[in-house]
A and B are shown apart, each in its own frame.
Chain A
Amino acid sequence: MTRRKFIRKLIKAGSAIAVGASWLISKATPRKFIWAARVKKYPGPLKPLRDISKQGKWSG
């Protein structure tokens, strides 16, 4: 192997390691949880605030 070929291989291997390491670091870093913003208008129908003092029919 010539010296030029050896240096080329070395550069290739080094850059592959650098890419791999940066990918690993980005995966390992805890991601910041982003809050969801509110909407101005509810997309469904609304009902008046009545009959709330009854026991719920739902489980839980």
Chain B
Amino acid sequence: MNVQCELCPKMCLIKPGQSGECRVRINIDGVLRTVVYGYPCSIHIDHIEKKPLFHFLPGSLIFSIATVGCNLHCKNCQNWEISQANPEDENIPAYFCPPERLVALTRRNNCPSLAYTYTEPIVYYEYTYDTAKLARSAGIRNVLVTAGYVNEQPWKELLKHVDAANIDLKGITDDFYRRVCSGTLKPVQNALILAKASGILVEVTNLIIPTLNDKPEQIRELARWIKVNLGGETPLHFSGFYPRYKMRNLPPTSLKILEMARKIAITEGLDYVYIGNLRSEEGQNTYCPACKALLIDRSGFTILKNRLKDGCCPDCGKEIYGVWK
């Protein structure tokens, strides 16, 4: 008997013995099963700025995990070795780490938060959900780094146990999502709106790929959409592309393009716009949107100076969007 997976907009109808597009949700004897529950292939401790999250516990360490699999197949994927791998792959072994063990490890390593990242936390949904619930009861915050390609009902359920998310908005046209990512735009926009409305901290990442989504009008449209639907206080990270996976024919994004994108987004009314994957003097710092004072001085993933006082600008007193302690 076929089963339909209703987790993401792909709505895969899975034949017995087959998996969905994500490769990790399979039909065994007519029952939908997740093969990666409790089996992450990557466990690391990162700086939270690496996610990137710039407005959530700056300077803290974050316990980070991923299993194999993804429901999108972006031609430019930076982590394709694990996101596009099968659980059976001999060269991608997994750890055995059920939620209880993961939470214990996070505590043992003095990490205040736990990130579901690197690949796509939506495809290991049940593992993410159970771990997040347990982590929160242990006083650990939960962070999702996701493409947001998920159906409304499971997304709303998961958001109840999440504290912050960095969600990719990979492009602003449906055509871009279809051609580059094998997805569609609307569900991602819906996931972003729902996440922001749920009250969690939301930051957005847009990877700029030369010739595909680097036109000033595309960047302006993306910034406008964020301003109107998520609010001008939502931090936006413009990230630089490197030729990887199935997109090795394009050059890396230049700093000039990223700086142009940042300027456009600020002009469109976004308060916090950052540049990632390339060193940029101004593009990695947080400035007060009211008095323009430097609030957080960063160098790479390192915080050089944090002038915030109780989440406010010390000079003009403006409250800065974020979770600061």
Residues of A at the B interface (CB closer than 8 Å) are 30-39, 42-49, 52-56, 58-60
B31: which of A37, A55, A60 is its contact (CB, 8 Å)? A37
A56 to nearest B CB, angstroms? 3
B290 to nearest A CB, angstroms? 31
Q: In the complex, are the beta carbons of A39 and B44 less than 8 A apart?
A: no
State the CA gap A52–B40 with chains docked (Å): 11
B50: which of A34, A46, A52, A60 is its contact (CB, 8 Å)? A60
A55: which of B50, B92, B97 is its contact (CB, 8 Å)? B50
Q: In the complex, are the beta carbons of A58 and B66 less than 8 A apart?
A: yes
Stretch at the interface among B82-90, B176-184, B222-230, B279-287: B82-90
Query: B299 on the interface (CB 8 Å rule)?
Result: no
Q: In the complex, are the beta carbons of B87 and A59 less than 8 A apart?
A: no
Contacts of A30 in B (CB 8 A): 153
Contacts of A39 in B (CB 8 A): 28, 33-35, 37
Contacts of B51 in A (CB 8 A): 60
B113 to nearest A CB, angstroms? 14
Query: B43 on the interface (CB 8 Å rule)?
Result: yes
- Known A37-B32, A39-B28, A47-B94: A55·B44 in contact at CB below 8 Å: yes
Closest A residue to B63 using CB positions? A52
Contacts of B93 in A (CB 8 A): 44-47
Contacts of B43 in A (CB 8 A): 49, 52
Closest A residue to B34 using CB positions? A36
Contacts of A32 in B (CB 8 A): 6, 153
Residues of B at the A interface (CB closer than 8 Å) are 5-7, 25, 28, 31-39, 42-47, 50-51, 64, 66, 68, 78-79, 82, 86-90, 92-97, 105, 109, 117-118, 125-126, 145, 151, 153-154, 157, 166
Contacts of B68 in A (CB 8 A): 44
Q: In the complex, are the beta carbons of A33 and B7 less than 8 A apart?
A: yes
Q: In the complex, are the beta carbons of A53 and B45 less than 8 A apart?
A: yes
Q: In the complex, are the beta carbons of A49 and B66 less than 8 A apart?
A: no
Q: In the complex, are the beta carbons of B35 and A45 less than 8 A apart?
A: no
Q: In the complex, are the beta carbons of A44 and B82 less than 8 A apart?
A: no
State the CA gap A28–B66 with chains docked (Å): 35
Q: In the complex, are the beta carbons of B44 and A52 less than 8 A apart?
A: yes
State the CA gap A12–B11 with chains docked (Å): 34
A30 to nearest B CB, angstroms? 7
Q: In the complex, are the beta carbons of A35 and B88 less than 8 A apart?
A: no
State the CA gap A36–B125 with chains docked (Å): 9
State the CA gap A25–B12 with chains docked (Å): 22
B34: which of A37, A54, A56 is its contact (CB, 8 Å)? A37
Q: In the complex, are the beta carbons of B45 and A55 less than 8 A apart?
A: yes
State the CA gap A36–B37 with chains docked (Å): 10
Contacts of B87 in A (CB 8 A): 42-44
State the CA gap A48–B101 with chains docked (Å): 13
B99 to nearest A CB, angstroms? 11
